[in-house]
Chains A and B, each alone.
Chain A
């Protein structure tokens, strides 16, 4: 009787220990994953601007991996170059951690995460901002915090969703 109780207690202890200490990923559903890879550059059409800064073009680099659960990991970096209100060259940089991704029916991919925005005007970068980016074969659209950049057309480089 006593040995039976001890054996039961030990069994329960083992099960509980395994449940508590295994990484969360073990229990997560893992299906086919998508790789989102891109590196390129583009030129804005005349008139493109953000926050009063006239945008000329930009470059981007993306490396992210997603699962069928929508969870993702990876990074996104986009740098825009433009001209400030007083005519000075200004480079705006978005740097983000990707935490979820959705591949859309049209083949584009929507990336979500958290990022920093460096306005390139000497002010400290703002971090911890909500980041949403949509990448397709023709360009990349980025919204970070309350700032929405016009879609950067891709005139050079590669964007791959596979």
Chain B
């Protein structure tokens, strides 16, 4: 009897140890985005406070927005942001911001700058395609061959804020502002942002594998309808 009790106890301990190892392995290998905060599109200010220069992910987007100041016009944009290979934190990023105002104005229509910094917040409850969140891309107007609107004093950086709120692009957001301060994680001297909810197109923000330089998370091969 005593022997039977001892054997039963040993088996119980072994099963318990195996279960604990399994749980530990699952916990250690789940993607980090699971633990990160959900973006509430109705509380942009609160959301921006959650943006982090240490979050590993990518931001892509293409589409149009309506600009109302100084005149009403449509502008196209294309954006890319990713973490560089060997990224360890601090907001460093690579990518590009293209922005084109479609209007009969002679100057200040184009933006073409490399991205130097990015802050992100990944959605804790991503869409079925694995995207969602918000981010800021900071581009450098002083880089060779870059283009920004002229200004006095000269714009030295561009700050783009994006939100990915759906797979269809509905309620996604693109805003751009121009800054007299240099390109840093939080540039200074930024003017009023133009843009807003997308007119067409979409933003995608997603997690990526640390150290991969960005590309890694597969995109589901589907594009839902964007209904009015």
Contact = CB atoms under 8 A, between A and B. Distances in A.
A61 B201 contact: yes
Interface residues of B, number: 62
Interface in A42-95: 59-67, 71-77, 79, 93, 95
Contact of B26 (A21, A23, A93, A124): A21
A46 B212 CA distance: 46
Contact of B100 (A35, A79, A156): A156
A93 B62 contact: no
Contact of A39 (B31, B76, B82): B76
B225 A124 contact: yes
A158 B215 contact: no
A37 B227 contact: no
Nearest to B102: A41
B23 to A, nearest CB: 10
B80 A63 contact: yes
B34 to A, nearest CB: 11
B212 to A, nearest CB: 5
Given A21-B30, A71-B218, A158 B100 contact: yes
A64 B60 contact: yes
Contacts of B220: 97
Interface string B71-85: 000101111101000
Nearest to A101: B215
A124 B109 CA distance: 33
A21 to B, nearest CB: 4
Contacts of A99: 218-219, 221
Interface in A124-149: 124-125, 127-128, 131
Contacts, number: 212
Interface string B12-30: 0010011001100110011
A60 B200 CA distance: 10
B202 A77 contact: yes
Given A37-B97, A62-B62, A162-B96, A73 B219 contact: yes
- Sorting the interface of chain A by its residue count into under 10, 10 to 19, 20 to 34 or 35 or more gives 35 or more
A98 B80 CA distance: 13
Interface string B39-71: 000000000000000000011111110000000
Given A18-B25, A39-B62, A114-B222, A160 B213 contact: no
Given A14-B21, A96-B223, A116-B223, A33 B62 contact: no
Interface of B: 14, 17-18, 21-22, 25-26, 29-31, 58-64, 74, 76-80, 82, 94-100, 102, 109-110, 112, 129, 147, 169, 200-204, 206, 208-209, 212-227
10 contacts: A13-B18, A14-B25, A35-B80, A38-B78, A59-B100, A63-B59, A65-B215, A75-B60, A97-B223, A98-B219
* 6 nearest A-B residue pairs (beta carbon): A25-B216, A77-B201, A61-B62, A39-B98, A157-B100, A17-B25
Given A33-B82, A37-B78, A72-B219, 12 more contacts: A25-B209, A38-B62, A39-B62, A60-B62, A73-B58, A74-B62, A75-B62, A97-B129, A124-B225, A157-B110, A158-B98, A160-B96
Interface of A: 6, 9-10, 13-14, 17-18, 21-26, 28, 30, 33, 35-41, 59-67, 71-77, 79, 93, 95-99, 113-116, 118, 124-125, 127-128, 131, 156-160, 162
